[in-house]
Amino acid sequence: MPTETVYGLAANALDPLACTAVYALKGRPADNPLIVHVWDLGHAQTLARTDSRAEQLAGDFWPGPLTLVLERKDGLGTVALRAPVHPVARQLIWLSERPLAAPSANLSGRPSPTTAQHVAEDLGGTPVLILDGGPSAFGLESTVVDLTKNPAAILRPGAVSAEALAAYGVEASASGSRPPSPGTRYRHYRPRVPLVVLVDGARGRAADALGPWARDLSSRGEVVACLAVGAGLPEGVLGRSFPSVEAMATGLFAAFRELENEASVIVVAAPGAEGLGRAIRDRLWRAAGGVFRTAGEPVQPELERGD
Ligand code: TXA
Ligand code: MG
């Protein structure tokens, strides 16, 4: 099903066999729980206990790209819940009259799908029905907030910014004893070609380092593609300059899927960590296998080829 964030692979959340099939189709690790999509707060309360913090967040952000981790009503641990705003997702929840478990509809490890075509690429060989709701508006997954502890904290940055949640007493990142969302442990979002991520450093801006990297890699016979926000791309490279951080968020995963077919390496100038930039940097960090390069450092030509 389409959602405003990314496409989801939906199953009846109350049917263990259906949920097992979702894990099998995606090749998802069994210890990574699914987000459950509900119609509204009342629907959420059939599954989970809510307090005034949860009710206020749901009241202000639902339907929309905010996922709340809450204690299950049956006492069996926690559940992550969100009410999507995409009209097709809402229709599906309404007509099926049940909560829908739905992870992103990509094969585990691949960039999340933001069009029906992406879903077909990853899951087209399997018996799934794809509802085409057009390209996803946000292009990045929902923000996951843990409300089972005090203070509440962001477990996965996403389409709702940390700044917007700070006003509700939600901490920007899980610290100390609280592990981040299980899903954030895994290698994720990876294009099929090596990815180099450049961040601002004391000796330069990320976008200024694109040129040296592109020239060096090209001279070694690589076909280079670059992604940046609001900066000109080096001459002779493939890729895109997005007009805004929001546009990069919307187009990042689609760009990975496009450019992995045309380039042998993708070099991204990461945006700053403000607003949606925080979620973009989180996805880039994972997609690049946990490596950022600082602008101004010497170009390092060894590329990590996928596993
Ligand atoms: O925007 C989204 O959230 C999309 C669309 C389809 O709604 N869904 C999505 O699902 O991104 P998925 O499965 O790719 O990511 C779910 C994230 C994972 O990081 C998972 O570990 C975390 O939510 N999660 C799920 N249940 C949790 C729980 N009970 N406690 C902590 N984290 C949880
Ligand atoms: Mg996912």
pLDDT (tens digit, 9 = 90+) per residue, 243-261? Answer: 999 999 999 999 999 999 9
Tell which residue, 271, 81, 248, 67, has the closest CA to residue 157.
67
**Within 10 Å of residue 149's Cβ, how many Cβ atoms?**
12
More confident residue, 187 or 276: 276
- pLDDT tens column, 98-131: 999 999 999 999 999 999 999 999 998 888 899 9
Residue 59 backbone phi and psi in degrees, to 5: -60, -35
Residue 183 banded pLDDT, cuts 50, 70, 90: low
Nearest CA to ligand 1 atom 15: 103
What is the Cα–Cα distance from 107 to 100, expressed in whole angstroms?
19
What is the Cα–Cα distance from 163 to 161, expressed in whole angstroms?
5
Q: Which ligand number lies closest to the CA of residue 190?
A: 2
CA of 30 to the centre of ligand 1 (A): 13
User: What are the chain's domains?
Assistant: 11-166 (3.90.870.10), 195-294 (3.40.50.11030)
CB of 3 within 8 A of CB of 64? Answer: no
pLDDT computed for residue 174 by the predictor: 60
Indicate if the pLDDT at residue 302 is higher than 80: no
Indicate if the pLDDT at residue 70 is higher than 60: yes
Q: In residues, how long is the chain?
A: 307
Amino acid letter, 277: G
Which atom of ligand 1 sits closest to the CA of residue 5? Answer: 1
Q: Which residue has the tokens 């009846």?
A: 12
Helix (H/G/I), strand (E/B), else coil: 79: strand
CB of 291 within 8 A of CB of 194? Answer: no
Which atom of ligand 1 sits closest to the CA of residue 77? Answer: 29
pLDDT computed for residue 47 by the predictor: 98
Helix (H/G/I), strand (E/B), else coil: 250: helix
* Average pLDDT of the segment spanning 214-238: 94
Pocket around ligand 1 at a 6 A CB cut-off? 3, 5-6, 8, 32-35, 65, 67, 69, 78-80, 102-104, 141-142, 144, 155-156, 181-184
Helix (H/G/I), strand (E/B), else coil: 212: helix
CA of 152 to the centre of ligand 1 (A): 17
Q: Which residue has the tokens 């939906």?
A: 10
What is the Cα–Cα distance from 244 to 242, expressed in whole angstroms?
6
Q: Which ligand number lies closest to the CA of residue 29?
A: 1
Average pLDDT, the chain: 93
